[in-house]
Amino acid sequence: MVRLSNNLIGILNFLTLLLSIPILVTGVWLSKQANTDCERWLERPVIALGVFLLLVSLAGLIGACCRVTWLLWLYLLVMFVLIVLVFAFTIFAFVVTNKGAGQVVSGRGYKEYKLGDYSNWLQKRVNNTKTWNKIKSCLQSGKLCSDFKSRFLNDTLQQFYSEKLTALQSGCCKPSDACNFTYQSPTEWNKPQNATYTDPDCDAWNNDPSVLCFSCNSCKAGLLQNIKTDWKTVAVVNIIFLIILIIVYSIGCCAFRNNRRDNWKSY
């Protein structure tokens, strides 16, 4: 008699197998379409995820339906490691993203972001020159500030001050309000001559579209604000995913026990 737990594991892994195919195809398609380092970076985890799901689902499917005990044991081992990793990452994400938030500026519709407000671990990542140069290249090639300029080009100064800017727009595409530059356009600001600044971002600002504030600490802080928001969302999703993994793992343990019992009976 075919046991329910083996059937459930077989069905779940068959569905996972079907899911892995479009993920793998998407990764291969991205590798063919990639023109920048940013796009090439995206394709690798997609392909890796597709291959991982394909192999794990095959092991679970064959192990449960064909009663191959060692494959089912391998499947359960991978699932256990995955549960531990997801749990660890979820805790890590909540801890790392606990600090940092945009600072409200009086009379402005947008917030400004300070690098020192975020966790030391995140700061170290973006303060690494090699890492930041890659991120900066992605921001520049993604037309972040050119789209920003086009959208707010016709704004007067007061209209611009009332805009709801994203963290990256606020940090990378305009100078800090504390610099007191003269507004010309969203990405063009005149510096006072012979002025000295306590904020290094004021010196780093340049009206050149390829420079702007991409090397500013405020730009790094804007990126970290985005990461914080995204990671908190991922952490919540991971909790749901973790519950599903534990349920599937429990069913898999039942299927494994059934396989061993049937193997003992066959002797």
pTM summary value: 0.79
Residue 33 lies in a domain: yes
The pLDDT score that the predictor gives to residue 188 is: 94
Does residue 194 sit within a domain?
yes
Domain match, 177 and 198 both: yes
Q: Which domain holds residue 131?
A: 103-222
The tens place of each residue's pLDDT in the chain, 267 residues long, gives 446 677 777 787 788 888 778 878 877 776 676 555 565 665 677 677 788 888 888 888 887 777 777 888 888 888 898 889 889 988 988 888 887 787 888 888 999 999 989 999 989 989 999 989 988 888 888 788 999 999 999 999 999 999 999 999 999 999 999 899 999 999 999 988 878 888 899 999 999 998 999 999 999 999 999 888 888 888 888 888 888 888 888 888 887 787 677 655 554
Provide the pLDDT for residue 115: 92
Same domain, 114 and 92: no
Those residues whose C-beta lies under 8 Å from the C-beta of residue 89, and which sit 6 or more positions away, are: 235, 238
CB 227 within 8 A of CB 122: yes
Same domain, 24 and 78: yes
Is residue 108 one of the residues assigned to a domain? yes
Yes or no: say if 248 and 85 are a contact pair by the CB < 8 Å rule: no
Q: Does the residue 150 lie in any domain?
A: yes
Q: What is the pLDDT of residue 2?
A: 47
Residue 230, domain member (yes or no): no
Is the domain of 199 the same as that of 162? yes
Q: Are 5 and 258 in contact (CB under 8 A)?
A: yes
| 198 burial via Cβ count (<10 Å: 0-12, 13-18, 19+) | exposed
Same structural domain, 80 and 1: yes
Are residues 205 and 261 both part of a single domain? no
Q: Which 8-state DSSP code applies to residue 109?
A: S
Give the chain's domain count: 2
CB 170 within 8 A of CB 188: no
Q: Nearest Cα to 97, choosing from 242, 262, 229?
A: 229
Asked whether residue 85 is domain-assigned, the answer is yes
Q: Please check whether residue 258 lies inside any domain of the structure.
A: yes
What is the torsion angle, in degrees rounded to the nearest 10, for the CA atoms of residue 16, residue 54, residue 89 and residue 42? -110
Residue 227 belongs to a domain: no
Instruction: Judge if 107 and 216 occupy the same domain.
Output: yes
